[in-house]
Chains A and B, each alone.
Chain A
Amino acid sequence: MASSETTRTTHKGSLMKKSDMQKRLFVLIAVWPCFIGYLLFNLYPNIVSVYYSLIDWNGISEAKFVGLSNFVSMFQDVFVWRALYHNLILILTIPVLTVYISLILAYLLINKGYLEVKLYRILFFIPNILAVIVITLLWSFIYDGSYGILNGLLKIIGIDMKEYYWLGDRSTALWALLPPLIWSGVGLYVVIFMNAMKSIPPSLYEAAVLEGASHTTRLFKITIPLLSPIIRVGVLFISLGVFKGFEFMLILTNGGPSGSTDVIGLYMFSMAFGSTSHNYGYASAIGMFLFVILIAVKLITDRIGSKESLEY
């Protein structure tokens, strides 16, 4: 490192002077088209949405400015808090489970020389390719009371659930959503973690192997700490996804039974485009609240992550 630093400083003067103009041009081409597209197509509509959150508007009538009234009703809205509670349950489970399952699978695929591993390396990513339609249709039949695979399997091992609909009961519906949500998200992280694991120098493991450390010890004591920066980013993406996503709920349960799988994204969506009149202003207020929550999620994952973080 030190030598390259010096090389850079020695050449910096001449190099930079010559290419100053060129660099500006390069940055102009490289950075600005995307950035302006982003400002225009993403940030600007969201800024307009900030204005929406201050109006009462159903998309048809003239918009009425109502100040913070949408926010006042939002904080009094039990459905908002109930939805957030469901998000809380999901965020305490999905990121951790997705990451751990991905890590274990990736570790097995990288460090175990089983014959079938080569096939699995290709196969495990495939849930990311399947369309949501297929995944949801499949899971609705897995959980079906009369035709479901799950009840069938349970019967084989001696548990008779009769005609129990896993997604039809308040006590199980939200939990029953975890497997499809995790299953469909693991593949991507298996690939990412496998790739990261490959770049860990074998020498780091050698000492541990000599000391007789088991695979479990190696995974938790060496691999995971070394991967922690990537894991942290992964957890962040999954967590943000948990708060923003609602596609599975929309299709599988539509928030039911009796609201037990309603999440904040779905509630915002149904306020804007649902089966009552459009409440664009209110939906935008929920959007603003969600924005604040997402930033909080980021700060919290940073805090938790940095405690465990180990540079390598």
Chain B
Amino acid sequence: MKVSMNKALSIIVSVVMLLTIVIGCSNNNEAGEKTTAPSNNAASSAPASEETNVYPDNGLSAKVEVKLKLGFWENGYGREWIDNAISKFTEKYPNVKFDVTYSPKIMDLISTKIAAKNDDDMFDIISPAFNSKAEKVQVIQAGLFEEVTDLWDRVLPDSNGRTFRELVPKGTFEFAEQYNGKFYEIPMGGSTVGLFYDKALFEKNGWNENPKTWEEFLQLMADIKSKGIIPITYPGVYPSYLSFAFGIKQFEIAEKNGNLEEFTKRFRKSELPIYTSVENKEIWTRIYEMGKLGYFPPGVAALNHTQSQMQLLQHKAALGATGDWVQNEMKDSIPDGFKWGYMAIPFSSTPGDTIWIENYIGAGGIMIWKNKSDLIKNWAKEFIVFLLSNDIQAYNNKSAGIYPIRKDFLDNPDNIKEMQDAPKAIMEFSKNNNIQLGLTSKEVIIEGPIAAQADKLATEMINDAASGKKDPLPVLEEAEKLIERAVKETAKK
């Protein structure tokens, strides 16, 4: 006993010693950093400047140095566009500095920092990138991000006195991502998903580039297949890519069945049934049907991005389920003569019926962490507004292929000349069809390990159904049972 007491004592003493050393070291280090870069807090408590030193356009002081910590999601659009926006912004407002952390996995940093619950350590502004839709809903419900609804009513400097809301195409405001009528990011561009293909390949084979009905679409699939080419490819290692082509179709089915309103509410609020809803079952029945006919790649479950892209570029596959970023993301590897085309799948049998297109309105948006000083938040909002100016919109469209959000930009034919092929193809498709933009976002998420199991079950089924190996309906029933259980468990707590 005596021995172990000694031991325990010496452990404690040493822990304390070590802690002192460690903290000592890191404090030194921190002090060293402070001299080079004043922290945000220091900046915000700096004495207010004279009245004359404010920017006339926004009333913010030009003297107070501000540094915005941005957690940037480096994705298919690249990072050039944000670098450009930042350099233009800091040119105009030299007292504002940015500290950008770029990462294709920024969501991991963001969620770690959220879990660690420390406002100083958190980024000031972030790309709205999360590991799951569920996580985004949770952070917003928890009130961690600043509401920015008021920015819709801001008069933009280059808009002849019109507000942003007046400047966007019809339906944009209604369909932009919102939670109970509140906005936490302002759309800076749209990103449209669906099926992308090489126009040259279609022209050569005389394939139908704009099937108007489900039957015509199936005929197209058969035509492609008869040439020994895989009709649709996607990276099956990440099976949810298939939903870029099919996810929004639930709304199309609901509309056709005359219960769009009820379905939309049920979908957004995650009301049961989720997996076995008429709409969802219909989609999976059709995918399974296509799977049995061999319209997706053999062994699709093993395809990573590179392999799937390769099939598309080598014309081993005709269409790819992806988004309009595809052109930018593959700009280095596209062979000569390849020209991007776009189509969305029609689910109706009547030509001229609405074709739904999923559009993540809000591409490149920015979210602001709530527990930050007003100074930071105000400048962050200025930056968001700045991203909406036509100069920036033009640059983003040209260099990154981000679909412009402003009507007055799109209406000017000179602007569209510079547009990349993929977004242009989407514009064309929208013109030639009766389309409806939509978003598969949710406002309520059923969470917890059991809900996660239901999700896993349904996700694992995707490749099986698309390979025609397994009837998806029994799996959906099983997943539904799990989600029912998850709802009950949540209610109990």
Question: When chains A and B are docked, how far (Å) is the Cα of A90 from the Cα of B142?
Answer: 42
**A258-296 residues at the B interface, CB under 8 angstroms:** 258-259, 270-271, 273-280, 282
Interface string of B442-484 (1 = CB under 8 A from A): 0001011111110110011101100000100000000000000
Given A144-B302, A276-B132, A282-B449, 20 more pairs with CB closer than 8 A: A56-B493, A58-B135, A60-B114, A73-B449, A74-B449, A163-B298, A165-B301, A166-B302, A167-B299, A168-B299, A253-B302, A256-B301, A256-B302, A258-B460, A259-B460, A274-B452, A275-B240, A278-B115, A279-B447, A282-B448
Determine the chain B residues whose CB is within 8 A of the CB of A117 once the complex forms.
none
**Residues of chain A with a CB closer than 8 A to B18's CB:** 32-33, 36-37, 40
Is the C-beta of A223 less than 8 angstroms from some C-beta in chain B?
A: no
**Measured CA separation A28–B463 after assembly (Å):** 58
Question: Looking across the interface, which residue of chain B has its beta carbon closest to that of A140?
Answer: B304
In the complex, are the beta carbons of B301 and A167 less than 8 A apart?
A: yes
- The answer to whether A70 touches B449 (Cβ under 8 A) is yes
Is B15 a contact of A140 with CB atoms below 8 Å?
no
Write out the residue numbers on chain B whose beta carbons fall within 8 Å of the beta carbon of A28. 14
* Interface bits A231-255 vs B (CB < 8 Å: 1, else 0): 0000000000000000000001111
Which residues of chain A from 159 to 211 have a CB within 8 Å of any chain B CB? 163-169, 173
Stretch from B42-50, B231-239, B390-398, B422-430 that touches the partner? B231-239
Instruction: Report the separation of the CA atoms of residues A252 and B238 in the bound assembly, to the nearest whole angstrom.
Output: 11
Contact across chains for A60 and B460 when beta carbons are under 8 A apart:
no
- Classify the interface of chain B: helix, strand, loop or mixed: helix
Contact with A along B289-308 (1 / 0, CB 8 A): 00000000011111110110
The number of residue pairs between A and B whose CB atoms lie closer than 8 Å in the complex comes to 152
From B14, B15, B237, B453, A253 is in contact (CB under 8 Å) with B237
Q: What is the CA–CA distance of A258 and B299 in the complex, to the nearest angstrom?
A: 12
Question: B111 near A279 (CB under 8 angstroms)?
Answer: no
Q: Which of B115, B298, B464 contacts A145 (CB 8 A)?
A: B298
Q: Is the CB of B451 within 8 A of A168?
A: no
Q: Is A16's beta carbon under 8 Å from chain B?
A: no
Instruction: Name 19 interchain pairs, CB-CB below 8 A, sorted by A.
Output: A32-B18, A140-B304, A146-B316, A164-B298, A165-B300, A165-B302, A166-B302, A167-B301, A168-B236, A173-B301, A256-B236, A257-B301, A258-B301, A259-B456, A271-B449, A274-B131, A274-B452, A276-B451, A278-B115
A103 to B270, alpha carbons, bound, how many Å?
A: 57
Among B127-147, those with CB < 8 Å from A are 131-132, 134-135, 138-139, 142, 144
Asked whether B493 lies within 8 Å of A257 as measured between CB atoms, the reply is: no
Are B448 and A56 interface neighbours, CB within 8 A?
A: yes
